[in-house]
Every structure is written in structure tokens, then in C-alpha cells.
Homo-oligomer: A and B are copies of this chain.
Amino acid sequence: MPDTHHTARQGSATETPTRDLAQWVAEVPSTDFTDRPRRWAKHAILDWFGVTLAGATDPLVGILAGDALDAGEGGNARLVGRKEKVTPTIAAMINGAASHALDYDDVNKRLHGHPTVPVVPAILALAEQKGLAGRAVVDAFIVGYETECLIGEMMGMNHYDHGWHATATVGTFGAAAGCARLLGLDAGKSAMALGIAATQAAGLKSMFGTMCKPLHAGKSAMNGLMAARWAARGFTSRSDALECAQGFGTTQSTEFHGLPVRPDSAAPFAVEENLFKYHAACYLTHSSIEAIRELKQHHEFTADQVTRVRTLVDAGHRKVCDIPEPETGLQVKFSIRHCIAMALSGIDTGDREIYTDATAARPDLMALRRKVEVEDKVHDSRHAAEIVIDLADGRSLVQFFDVGVPADDLDAQEQRLIAKFHRLADPILGADKAKRIKDLVLGLDDAKDVGDLMATAG
């Protein structure tokens, strides 16, 4: 299925990718966004509210909000999960930082990053300020998302490998495109918005592990929002910012190549390959956990029966998440062995509160994790895992899982996302308010504006 997605998206190169993209941003009819991409979009927005509400309690968000109020940046725009209200520009930044604070937000492989966190904070802040309709917000999200993924693909893997945090850099274009759409800019002004975004795009991968990583998402949202607003007023940039000599493309990738926008208009939109995180641990543990989840659904066995577990994964996993004897909650998140032990024991790995020092020290989990072997295997996807479980009764269970494959069953996805959302949102807002947000987001296409939604969340 991911191959189908990919083939559909290939096309001959274009010499004018910025203008092509700007024209599409401005002119693609809303009616092209059928129920299926709209439903995917609402899933992503619902998930965004969950991770943002939970992330809003992070100290980094308090720093940004406190600074904004001291700097006179109070206003009417809501901060999700917080009491303060600030200007729309600053709200886009702070909500963006909050939504990436837990690193529990969604992923797209074409972007090589997190697609939702740069776009949603920008378009919500704009829609809230201008009183824009929910349907336009959904449209703008699909547009922004498509823009990021297309540019991510144009930049190639070299951009990320060279040290750029694509969520930050490419994300700026996503926010600008979404806001340009929401403001109804024409193709010429949309190209200006992309150009103004290009020259503000920044963010270093070497900042991972500091508060700057979540800040990147927020700054992208803010910079993209400003780019679109300024373009609307006639601020000038280049109309070929991606492909011009020493433009965004060649300054920041050795592989840049112009690509057409959706050469196959019947192909799925980029948002339809969004990958959600259901476990509050390193993404490279997810396929192993999901494979165990599958096995437990189809076979009767308990953790006591397990004599040996092998997980066959890309060699790169060892570098990132193979802490054999984790001692802290944070280390658990990067211990594929401990995560497997948790999954086998029926612990909810989607609960971010479970990643504690006490969990790391639980004797039954420690015994179980020592039965796990991590082995190298080349799969088609570097996120995939093959799990082999030997049981005391002689059975050997085998399951492959690749979290890099978008979901097929949207009903099932929705149920899982609602469960994740409530787990994150209920402790912050209470179950009633959380349910109201869930209903408002899933009904966003019919909302007169986003005022009620933002008031409930902020």
C-alpha cells in the first residue's frame, strides 16, 4: 500500500515548482477534498488537540507564555490547555511548541518529520482571529499538509541527513500554504507567501534533546502565519524561492529536484498517509509493540509462558532505542526490550504516565526484558519489526508489523485516536470538556467557526 501511494505521486520533474505549488494552493477546489481526506484531516486535528493539551503543561510552554505576557503580548488568542491569552502570532508559536513537547505527535515519511504541528497552530490562530468556518480550516490543513510533503520529497533525504529538522524548515512552508489558503490568497500572493516562508525557514536537528526541538514546530507555525499575512498585504519575495539559484532547495539540499503537484489527481492526498503514534515511547519501538498487540489479539498466552522473544529490526534501532537495562522512565522510552516486556504484560504503552523509574525497576518486567533479543534484519521499511515469541508449551508465534504503513480502516483508527485523545486530555480538562472537543473536531466541517472549539480547549 505505501508503494501504491508512492507510485501515484511520481511524475516528471517541473522547472517551476514554486509557482505550480502556489497555483495549486490558491486554486484547488474545496470539492476535490472528498470525505476520506477530510476524515483523515480531522483525525490529525483531534490527535493534535490531545498531544497539545498534554504538552501544554511542559515547563517550556510556561516559559514561553510567561515571557509573552511580560513582553506585552497578551491578546485574544487562546493557548490550548492554558489560561493565558496572547496575540494570534504568539499563540501559533506557543501552541506549536506545546504540541511537539511530548514528541507524541504524528509523522509523515515524505516530510521526514512531524506534519501536523507546524500547520494546525497557525491555521487555528488565524481562523480564531478572523472567525473563519471549520470547513475552510480543514481545507487549509489538507493544503498545508500536501505542501510540506511535496517539498519534503523535493528536498530528498539529504536535507534531513545534513542536519536540518524538516519539521521546522519544511514545516514553515506548510504553515504558510495553509494560512495562504485560509486567507484566500491568489496564486501570485501564495507564491510570495512561500518565498517569505523560505527565507525564514530554520531549525537544527542537533537541538534534539533540548527545548528548542518543540520550539521549532512553534516557530514554523508563527513564521508561516506571518508570511501569509504579509503576502496578503503585498509584501514581496521571489516567486521561485524553492528552485532559484541559491534558493531554499539548493542551499539546503544536494538532492533538490522540482516535482509537480499531484500529477495523478485521483491519488490519495498526503494527509491520507499520516502516521499516528499510539505509544509514548521512541517511534522505533512501535512496530515491536504493535506486533505483540496483534499476537495477543489472535493467540491465547500470558507473559508467564514466554521463554524467549526475538525482535528482528533494522540495524539502526540499536543505536537509538536498545538500552538493555533501563533505570529511569526516560530510559524505558528508549529500551525496546523493556517496551516489549510491558506490551507482553498488558501494560498500556500509550499512557505517558507509565514511563517511570518504578516501571523500569519492576522485577517481573526486568525478568521478562532479559528474555528479549534484538537482532538485525533488513526490512523494506526501517520502522518495521518481526517478532518471534517462544512459549513454554512449545508454540512459536511470529508476527511482522510496520508502523510506517498508513491505516486502512478509518473507523478503527478513529476509535484508537479517540482513546488516545481521552487518555491525554481527560486529566487536563476533565472527561466532559474533552468529549466536547472531540465532538467539535470530528464535526469541524460543519462548524460556523472555531471559536467554541478554542474556548473549550483554552
A206-B244 contact given A63-B233, A73-B87, CB 8 Å threshold = yes
The answer, among B200, B206, B229, for a CB contact under 8 Å with A67, is: B229
When all copies of this chain in the complex are counted, the total is: 2
| A210, B231: Cα distance in complex, Å | 12
The answer, among B64, B164, B234, for a CB contact under 8 Å with A63, is: B234
Q: Which residues of B contact A412 (CB under 8 A)?
A: none
> Does chain B have a CB within 8 A of A66?
yes
Contact check, A210 vs B233: say whether CB atoms are below 8 A apart: no
Q: Which residues of B contact A245 (CB under 8 A)?
A: 206
Q: Which residues of B contact A202 (CB under 8 A)?
A: 199-202
Contact check, A206 vs B163: say whether CB atoms are below 8 A apart: no
Residues of A within 8 A of B (CB): 59-60, 63-64, 66-67, 71-73, 75-77, 87-89, 129, 162-164, 168, 195-196, 198-207, 210-212, 215-216, 219, 226, 229-230, 233-238, 241, 244-248, 250-251
The answer, among B199, B206, B212, B246, for a CB contact under 8 Å with A212, is: B199
Contact check, A88 vs B72: say whether CB atoms are below 8 A apart: yes
Contact check, A238 vs B206: say whether CB atoms are below 8 A apart: yes
Shortest distance in angstroms between A302's beta carbon and chain B's nearest beta carbon?
Answer: 43
Contact check, B212 vs A247: say whether CB atoms are below 8 A apart: no
Q: Which residues of B contact A203 (CB under 8 A)?
A: 199-200
Shortest distance in angstroms between A121's beta carbon and chain B's nearest beta carbon?
Answer: 15
Contact check, A72 vs B72: say whether CB atoms are below 8 A apart: no
Q: Which residues of B contact A244 (CB under 8 A)?
A: 206
Contact check, A199 vs B216: say whether CB atoms are below 8 A apart: yes
Contact check, A67 vs B230: say whether CB atoms are below 8 A apart: yes
| A38, B67: Cα distance in complex, Å | 31
| A77, B73: Cα distance in complex, Å | 12
| A141, B172: Cα distance in complex, Å | 31
| A199, B211: Cα distance in complex, Å | 11
Shortest distance in angstroms between A131's beta carbon and chain B's nearest beta carbon?
Answer: 14
Q: Which residues of B contact A88 (CB under 8 A)?
A: 71-72
Contact check, B63 vs A204: say whether CB atoms are below 8 A apart: no
Q: Which residues of B contact A205 (CB under 8 A)?
A: 246
| A67, B205: Cα distance in complex, Å | 32
Contact check, A64 vs B246: say whether CB atoms are below 8 A apart: no
| A198, B378: Cα distance in complex, Å | 36
Contact check, A237 vs B207: say whether CB atoms are below 8 A apart: yes
